[in-house]
Structure 1
Amino acid sequence: MDRIAVLGVGWYGFRPTTPETSFREMVFEAAARAYEDAGGINPRNDVDSFISCQEDFWEGISISDEFAPDQIGGAMRPTMTVAGDSLQGLAHAFMHINSGIADIVAIEAHSKASDILTLNDLIKFSMDPIYVRSINPINFHFIAGLDAVKFLERKGVSREDLSLVVEKNKRAGLLSPRASYASKISANDVNNKEYIVYPLTQLDIAPFVDAAIVVVVAEEEVAKKLKKDDYLLITGLGFATDSNNIETAELGKANYMRIASNIAYKMANITSPRRYFDAVFVDDRYSYKELQHLEGLGISEEPAKDLREGNFSPQGEIPVNPLGGHLSKGVPLEASGFSLLLDAIDYIRQGKGEKALVASWRGIPTFTGAVAVVERP
């Protein structure tokens, strides 16, 4: 299969609230930046298909994809919706290009979480109506608490290790223009916070943010003509759902990430991921998830040990979330995967590495993950 190239990226927001714009205006701003970054292409003439990553569940609008085309230049053009994380949208763009129906594809994903007045209740509503919703949990984080306890027990991870993840990522986020929650914080600050649900404090949980991201991709030969060597390649992609509910899931393990990464590694011909990548950008919306996902990705069998030894620090053997991750930037709903992809692209463009791994999780209550391999040609 042909590899696909990242031509351009654009973003807007990454703040707790964006009262100055609607979600459509946010996407327009991100799209304008992405098309300029792609070499000043005209979406009405140069883009063959458009993909929007959103669903009615978050938008509060029936058939919300009807509101997608205008602001990305897709009016009266082939436009489709992926009701999933933006890395899954990237996988669909890969399929568009490899099937021959498109040479250039634009993918948008956004979050206007500040418009959702009952976000906690909405997430509870997504849970199993018989076994979970019926017990009326105090907050939806209890599933993460159960998963975290199982993981900590199985891998010998301590509460202090989770604090080290928070300290590392919030400090690393000081280098990112998108990190509204970056802070020069210490592990002790995290330990002294009250639990939201054991073993997670407020600082262990990434808040939701408003953001819009547009990524423009193309067939590799097209990218060479448009931008010569000034592009990045997506050489591997995979996504998977391990289970559809908490009753059948194997808590304490990120099996979805193992399955998705194996697909991506096979596509990119990677046999030793830890030695292959210069940095890893992984979903850390809960502090323990960073360590759990690193195990699922085959990066570390003893993630807590690697963390304590500094191997995951920005200057370590294999930097993990060296621009802060979700703990610094917040969680932009379905744009979460693209948020991590933006970090990977920035990292490579800044000359800090040549090959990066991006791994996103769709969040509670799902067991769905997606993985992308990004590298210079």
Structure 2
Amino acid sequence: MTKDIAVIGIGTTGFRATTPDLSYRELTYEAAKKAYMDAGVEPKQIGAFVATSEDFCEGYSIADEYSPDQLGAVLKSIYTVPGDFIQSMASGVMMLKSGLYDIVAVQGLSKASNMITKPYLTDFALDPIYNRPLKEHSDYIAGMEMNRYLYETGTSREACAQVVVKNKRNAMTNPLAGHGCELTLDYVLDSPMVSYPLSELDISPYSDGAVVIVMATAETALSLSDKPIWVRGIGWISDTPGLETRDWAKAVYAQMAADMAYKMAGIRSPRSEIDFVEISDEFSYKELQHLEALRLCSPGEAGLLTLEGATEITGELPVNPSGGCLGVGSILECTGGQKILDVVLQLRGEAGKNQLQDVSTGLAMSWRGLPTTTGAVAILSN
């Protein structure tokens, strides 16, 4: 399994708080059409499709049965990963490396605005004996983790608030983002408390949207695209689902997924070999926790780097130049898709006002959200 794999097409609807004018099928169709046009392929040329969906989020049993029509995948090989987009991407990479197919498409979707009772759905992922009967809002889990992370690393709430300020500002110049705004540090710190020390503005809002990417083996990619983005490494890990036995201060899943991706990519010094990152920040502290888990800085250093401006678009290690989940929105199982999309745009030089200079390698990292400890990492180069 030594074949090189490249992303040759990307398509998205963009991301906004609500899409009353579009069904979830229409969102997928729009993203797929744009991705196929970008790749210069017809659906009939694609050998296999991977859909990303979770029945609880979609509101339909066996939701993937609704994927073939809008993807152009009728009577083709298609299956669903009920996880994150980067996990689906990993499945597509393995399909291509195995030699089964030359071209594979991967789809991710969020229609979060259809979900009236998201916290109750999250409760179904909790242990039915020990945790669910507590009947607490699921954000208390994030509050507990944030509290432990700040305590063990010496990170301040100000550093977490600066993540919010930075990412919301970045989103203002990203036309695909739906939650950009200009905030002050004090305004974020003074926002209503949800579960100490987690406040309302530490939590990313939800967005609707879809992403489709087209990947191909090297020979096919070079024949179809003059700007292939190479998948150098990919990794994914699930830690324990139990609240009682996990590490509350460290994102062990992110560290192990990154190590898997680094090994595949041949990366030995992440800080010097990776130019920028798009990482999961559903909660402000998660950006800092993930930066440290990815070995891009030492434990307790991420907050200091953020306060010093090192993670700004103009900094030495740009983090979430797209605006991240805090600025783009939390898009459920499609979160990793947004990360991949924006890494590809940066490496192509197509990120508009948020374009970074002289970048050749980017990292995308996703976390599946509460109450999981599941993460995935992909490393891409131009």
TM over 0.5: yes
Does the 8 Å CA contact 1:278/1:355 hold for their aligned counterparts?
yes
Mapped to 1, the partners of 2:126 and 2:115 lie a distance apart of 18
1:66-77 residue pairs with structure 2 within 5 A?
A: 66-77=65-76
Per-residue CA deviations over 1:45-76 (Å, capped at 9, x if unaligned) read x1000010012121111111111111001011
Partner of 1:158: 156
Aligned equivalents of 1:323 and 1:56: distance in 2?
A: 28
In 2, the alpha carbon distance for the partners of 1:360 and 1:117 equals 24
Is the Cα contact below 8 Å between 1:13 and 1:26 reproduced in 2?
no
Q: Which residue of 2 is the match for residue 37 of structure 1?
A: 38
Question: Which residue of the other structure, out of 361, 368, 375, is the alignment partner of 1:369?
Answer: 375
Note if contact 2:275-2:318 (Cα within 8 Å) is conserved in structure 1.
yes
Q: Which residue of 2 aligns with 1:50?
A: 49
Corresponding residue for 1:5?
6
Alignment of 1:1-377 (within 5 A): 1-39=2-40, 41-44=41-44, 46-137=45-136, 139-227=137-225, 229-301=226-298, 302-350=301-349, 352=356, 353-376=359-382
Q: Shift of residue 3 of structure 1?
A: 2.3
Amino acid at match of 1:358: A
AA matched with 1:320: V
Offset at residue 13 of structure 1 (A): 4.2
Instruction: Structure 2 unaligned segments of length 5 or more: list them.
Output: 350-354
Give the superposed CA RMSD. 1.0
Displacement after TM superposition at 1:233 (Å): 0.6
Q: Distance in 2 between matches of 1:106 and 1:30?
A: 11
Residue type at the aligned position of 1:303? A
Name the SS of the counterpart of 2:295 in structure 1: coil
In 1: Cα distance, 2:14 partner to 2:292 partner = 31
List 4+ stretches of structure 1 deviating above 3 A: none
**What residue ranges of structure 1 are gaps of 5+ in the alignment?**
none
Aligned-partner Cα distance in 2 for 1:8–1:162: 35
CA contact (8 A) 2:35 2:213 kept: yes
Query: Counterparts of 1:255 and 1:213 in 2: how far apart (Å)?
Result: 27
The one-letter code of the counterpart of 1:123 is T
User: 1:241-300 CA deviation, whole Å, 9 max, x = no partner?
Assistant: 121221211111100000000000000000000111111111001000000000100001
Q: Any idea what SS the aligned residue of 2:341 has?
A: helix
Alignment partners' CA distance in 2, 1:173 and 1:58: 25
Counterpart of 1:371 in structure 2: which amino acid? Answer: V
Between stretches 326-335 and 238-247, larger displacement belongs to 238-247
SS in 2 for 1:15: coil
Q: Per the alignment, in what secondary structure is the counterpart of residue 233 of structure 1?
A: strand
| TM-score when normalising by structure 2 | 0.96
Secondary structure at 1:26's aligned position in 2?
A: helix
Q: Is the 8 A contact 2:227 2:348 kept in 1?
A: no
Tell me the distance in 1 between the aligned counterparts of 2:371 and 2:280. Answer: 15
Identity, in percent, stands at 42
* SS of structure 1 residue aligned to 2:15: strand
